[in-house]
Chains A and B, each alone.
Chain A
Amino acid sequence: MEINVEQSKLAKALSIVSRITGGSRTTLPILNNVLMEAKDNKVTLVTTNLDMAINYYLPTTLAKDGKITVPAKLLADFVSNLPKGEVKIQVNQEKLTVSEGKYKSVFNGNAAEDFPELPEFDEKSAISFQMGIDDFRLGMNAVKIACSSDTTRPTLTGIYFNSFEGGLYVAATDGYRLAEKKLINKIESEIKAIVPVQCIVDVLGAISDNMENIEILFDEFQVRFRLGEIEIISKLIDGAFPDYRKLIPEKSQVEILLNKAELLRGVKLAALFSRATSGSIVCESKKDEQVFVVSSVLNEFGENKSEIEAEISNDAKVVLNSKYLNDVLLVLDEDELKFGISGKLSPVLIQNKNSFDYTHIIMPLKS
């Protein structure tokens, strides 16, 4: 095998494919390797951890047939430290030589035959659709904050893609908060699939500026994201996602309109005084004064209170985890937001002021 490739392209490709190697599942050493294969003038890089796989079609100036696997992280680190220029890659038996001008490394590889096979897609029965990369990124960032990391409830550790009344929605919840975003207005097919959040994180990490579209393909058991030259495949999480739509209140008893940046500042300040109470802060709307008060008390050290001007329909008070509130404020895309309270222990509803494609609810803390 012989490949000539531009250093920057190779470095970028390796940094993306090596993300999923060397994980906690190291029972199979070859999973730390990247499979390089040149065939018919095309070069592909492949890595997998047996939950996910990344396929990268590498643009090259020369590609002679052959294949080999070598340790991915080591190769990635070597190539990323090379200067700009053309990198020459040659394979001799189970050794891979990478050279550029004065710099040269020889990597001990393993036979490509030992590398796990990747699952194939049943393209006929699969559902596929395309969407703009910016919409995808916004949507994923907005819901992935609510994913759980509790592996005893695996269905909550993913993002739930589901079609509903003709649109495609994504949702995530950890049992304390829930985020839902409408991803596509119109979709023909029926989708119900939970994609592991780790896969979404890796897809987001593989996005670069020049990309415009992402193609997503679901079959019964797995999903494939295609971004330009990159394909990311993951198994879906097995199980049924909670029927979350019932949890979203249709209307809040008290609605508050206020500025996002000001509320964010208030939440951050109050969080400083909420450490002893594991982040709980008090949010109170005062109708007469038309202010929204965010406050917290740290007995030993003192207390804090911020008053934010707001349009308020009635008095209300609720205690929330400041981290959850902080997370959602960072992903809202409008400057003004709507904050809905329906009682001390009912879910708080947070949305943009004008657009309603994103819904976030937080369960209040018992004070």
Chain B
Amino acid sequence: MFDVWNNVLAELEKKLPESHYLTFFKDSNTSLISNKDGHIQISVPNTFMQTNICKKFDADIRVALKNNGVEVLTTEYLIVTNKNNRSRETTNSRGSNFKNLSDRVGTVQRIDLERHSSLNARSQNRTGLSEKFTMDNFIIGTNNDLAVSVAKNIIENPGMKYNPFFLYGGAGLGKTHLVEAIGNELARRHPEFKILYIPINHFYNDFIQSVRNGKMDDFRRRFSELDVLIVDDFQFIVGKEKSQEEFFNIFNDMQQLNRQVIITSDRLPSQLKTVDERLASRLTQTGAYDIQFPSFEDRCAILHAKAEFNGVEIEDKAIEYIAKSVETNIRDLESMYSKVIAMADVKCISPLMVINEGMVGVVGNTTRSKVFSPSTVIETVANFFNISPEEICGRSRVAHIKTARQIAMFIMSRDLQMSTTKIANEVGLKDHTTAMHGIKKIETDTKTDFVLRDQLNEIRDLLNNGII
């Protein structure tokens, strides 16, 4: 269902004027809640969005849903809030007597407990695991084979050799998939196991709640009963000292009783500032296992598997093109793939045709078909950061201007293959070593600083789409 909605959004992006798409759909947290025999429920964030999406875009949404193979009888736009049960319906024109309140409340409540990124299939059982993540649909490649063999060992002998299991790697590379797959497999083999999957932010929110309500005993009891604890996105514990302390206690207790603890993070604990050293070293005592970005062959394998899973016909060449053009993460890879498939569906042509016709936008730093000059780079970067090109080529050492200058140099070096001496000339630096340093800095920073990476991708998008 999640994929369908992504496809609908992709189609709306093509169809609607850009300003409308940006205002009403991009980042506005719409999602498909449910589809009961053609009665579609879509969540919207507030009354302003509800009124306008319902009145202005309903027809487009119906068409897009149909194009994605969804039969539509009625559509409903519901506001989904954090306060449970506060949903209000606006039923649309045709067949407005869809009133199964208990059912709807159930749906809406569940969404509150879930993370936005995986609204679809997280099942209601108490583990918090999503059933769509299994070992079967996890593609093994050279980038993750070590982590997978550890995972398999854990499934055979939970709580023994690899306890804790610390898994790290960049966003969208499959950490969550792998650990949830372990959880699901353990749940299948040992139905008596108490398993909990919890993103760390839920952990500390629950912790704070419990402290506030004086229910710490309940909180601790909840964890003391567990056989398997899976903690996702551990990096967000930075700066939450009390939560860390509490986590450490829980962790210690589970260790002593040989109960399995699995942790994911986007970097090593030793690289997390303010994480207690004692905790950091304990977490990685059985080693830390990473998932890397998959190689070209692995990416092709992922796409093949996905196409097979969805029963979609797609040419090898199209897969190769997509695999080649996405160099960020698997999430972007899947997004590009979905776009191509959706577009092929809409236009009734083959995926390869879609690509050859250049009908899909670029995702992340993809193909650089366009040639642009160094001055265009400087101008685009300057525009992006709202400063003047002169400032970039000037001597200012104000932080944001300096970053902009480094980004411009980085793009010239990577995308235009210019030498550092030339680059230094272009931005008015005396010394090419300064350029080298700047380029290096952006290269290292993009690995950890996601904001910077997004900015870089956006600038490259601008350059490739030739707005200037």
> A residues near B, CB below 8 A?
25, 27-29, 31, 48, 50-51, 53, 116-120, 122, 220-222, 235, 238-240, 243
A51 with B51: CB separation less than 8 A: no
**Residue of A with least CB distance to B45:** A238
- Excluding A119-B51, A120-B51, A238-B83, 14 further A-B contacts by CB distance (< 8 Å) are A25-B23, A28-B22, A117-B56, A118-B48, A118-B51, A119-B47, A221-B47, A221-B86, A238-B46, A238-B82, A239-B81, A239-B82, A240-B82, A243-B212
Q: Which residues of A contact B23 (CB under 8 A)?
A: 25, 27-28, 31, 50
Task: Return chain B residues, CB-CB under 8 Å to A31.
Answer: 23
Please give, as numbers and ranges, the residues of chain A lying within 8 Å of B50 by CB-CB distance: 119
Write out, one digit per residue, whether chain B residues 199-215 have a CB within 8 A of any chain A CB (1) or not (0): 00000000000001000
Q: Is B55 located at the chain interface by the 8 A CB criterion?
A: yes
User: Separation in Å of the A218 CB from the closest CB of chain B?
Assistant: 12
- Sort A-B residue pairs by CB-CB distance and give the 3 closest, nearest first: A119-B47, A27-B22, A28-B23
Distance in Å from the Cβ of A241 to the closest Cβ of chain B? 11
CA distance A222 to B86 in the complex (A): 12
A235 and B22 contacting across the interface, CB-CB below 8 Å: no
Q: How far is the CB of A209 from chain B (nearest CB, A)?
A: 31
| Chain A CB within 8 A of B88 CB | yes
Establish whether residues A235 and B46, one from each chain, have CB atoms under 8 Å apart when the complex forms: yes
Q: In chain B, what residue has the closest Cβ to A30? A: B19
Interchain CB contact under 8 A, A221 and B19? no
**Would you call A235 and B82 a contact (CB within 8 A)?**
no
A29 touches B19 (CB 8 A): yes
Residue numbers in B under 8 Å from A116 (CB-CB): 48, 51-52
In the complex, B116 has a CB within 8 A of chain A: no
A51 to B79, alpha carbons, bound, how many Å? 14
Q: Are B48 and A220 in contact (CB under 8 A)?
A: no
Contact A221 B52, beta carbon cutoff 8 Å: no
* Contact across chains for B46 and A117 when beta carbons are under 8 A apart: no
Is there an interface contact between A28 and B20, defined as CB atoms closer than 8 Å? yes
Q: Does B49 contact A (CB under 8 A)?
A: yes
Bound-complex Cα distance A119 to B46 (A):
9
B239 to chain A, nearest CB (A): 12
B22 touches A50 (CB 8 A): no
Partner of B47, one of A29, A235, A243: A235
| Complex A-B: 6 CB contacts under 8 Å | A27-B23, A50-B23, A119-B47, A235-B46, A235-B47, A239-B82
Give the interface SS of chain B, mostly helix, strand, loop or mixed. helix
Complex-state Cα separation, A116 to B20, whole angstroms: 10
Q: Is the CB–CB distance between B86 and A220 below 8 Å?
A: yes
Which residues of chain A come closer than 8 Å to B49, judged between CB atoms?
50
Count of CB-CB pairs between chains A and B under 8 Å: 57
B19 & A50 in contact (Cβ 8 Å cutoff): no
Binding site secondary structure of chain A:
loop
Contact A221 B51 (CB under 8 A): no
B47 touches A222 (CB 8 A): yes
* Chain A residue at smallest Cβ distance from B22: A27
In the bound complex, residues from chain A placing their C-beta under 8 Å from that of B22 are: 27-28
Given A28-B23, A50-B49, A116-B48: A221 touches B88 (CB 8 Å cut-off): yes
Alpha-carbon distance between A237 and B360 when the two chains are bound, in angstroms:
37
**Cβ–Cβ < 8 Å partners of B47 in chain A:** 119, 221-222, 235
Interface size class, chain B = 20 to 34
Chain B 230-262 interface 0/1 with A at a Cβ cutoff of 8 Å (1 = within): 000000000000000000000000000000000
A51 touches B82 (CB 8 A): no
Chain B: which residue is nearest A28 at the CB level? B23
B84: nearest chain-A partner, CB-CB: A240
* Alpha-carbon distance between A163 and B205 when the two chains are bound, in angstroms: 26
**Chain A positions within 8 Å of B83 at CB level:** 238-240
Q: Which residue of B lies closest to A31 (CB)?
A: B23
B81 / chain A contacts, CB cutoff of 8 Å: 221, 238-239
Contact residues in A for B45 (Cβ distance below 8 Å): 238
Contact A48 B48 (CB under 8 A): yes
B residues 16-32 near A (Cβ < 8 Å) are: 19-20, 22-23
User: Taking the nearest CB of chain B, how far is it from the CB of A125, in angstroms?
Assistant: 9
Distance (Å) between the CB of B437 and the closest chain A CB? 33
Contact present for B48 and A27 (CB under 8 Å): no
**What is the distance, in angstroms, from A301's C-beta to the closest C-beta of chain B?**
29
- Measured CB to CB, the closest approach of chain B to A156, in angstroms, equals 14
- Chain B residues near A51 (CB-CB < 8 A): 46, 48
Whether A221 contacts B46 by the Cβ 8 Å rule is yes
A122–B50 alpha-carbon span in the complex (Å): 14
Contacts of B79 in A (CB 8 A): 221
Determine the residue in chain B with the shortest Cβ distance to A113: B56
Minimum CB–CB distance for A187 against chain B, Å: 21
Q: Report chain B residues within 8 Å CB of A53.
A: 48
The residue on A at minimum CB distance from B83 is A240
B residues less than 8 Å from A48 (CB atoms): 48
- Render B74-100 as a binary contact track against A, CB cut-off 8 A, 1 for contact: 000001011100101000000000000
Residue among B22, B23, B83 with the most chain A CB within 10 A? Answer: B23
Min Cβ gap B237→A in Å is: 16
On chain A, the residues within 8 Å of B212 by CB distance are: 243
Q: Which of A25, A31, A117, A118 has the most CB of B within 10 A?
A: A117
Within the complex, the shortest CB–CB distance from B92 to chain A, in Å, comes to: 14
When chains A and B are docked, how far (Å) is the Cα of A243 from the Cα of B83? 14
Residue of A nearest to B81 (CB): A238
Asked, given contacts A27-B19, A28-B22, whether A117 binds B55 with beta carbons under 8 Å apart, the answer is yes
How far, in Å, is B460 (CB) from chain A's closest CB? 21
A118 CB to closest chain B CB (Å) equals 7
With A119-B50, A238-B81 known to touch, is A220 a contact of B19 (CB < 8 Å)? no
CB nearest neighbor in B for A48? B48
Give Cα A62 to B215, complex, Å: 66
- Please report the C-alpha to C-alpha distance between residue A48 and residue B81 in the assembled complex, in whole angstroms: 22
Question: CB-nearest residue of chain B relative to A240?
Answer: B83
Given contacts A25-B23, A117-B51, contact A220 B88 (CB under 8 A): yes
Please measure, in the bound complex, the distance between the C-alpha atom of A27 and the C-alpha atom of B52, giving whole angstroms: 15
Interfacial chain A residues near B51, Cβ < 8 Å: 116-120
Bound-state Cα–Cα, A48 to B49, Å: 12
Compute how far the CA of A74 lies from the CA of B19 in the bound complex, rounded to whole angstroms. Answer: 21
CA A239 to CA B52, docked complex, whole Å: 23
Q: How close is A302's CB to chain B, nearest CB, in angstroms?
A: 34
Q: How far is the CA of A25 from the CA of B27 in the complex (A)?
A: 12
Residues of B within 8 A of A235 (CB): 46-48
Closest to B23 in A: A28
Given contacts A119-B50, A222-B47, contact A28 B19 (CB under 8 A): yes
User: Contact at B82–A50, with CB atoms within 8 Å?
Assistant: no
Q: List, in ascending order, chain A residues with CB within 8 A of B46's CB.
A: 51, 221-222, 235, 238
Give Cα A185–Cα B309 distance, bound, in whole angstroms.
64
Q: Which of B82-129 contact A (CB under 8 A)?
A: 82-83, 86, 88
A238 to chain B: which residues have CB within 8 Å?
Answer: 45-46, 81-83
What CA separation (Å) do A48 and B23 show in the bound complex?
13
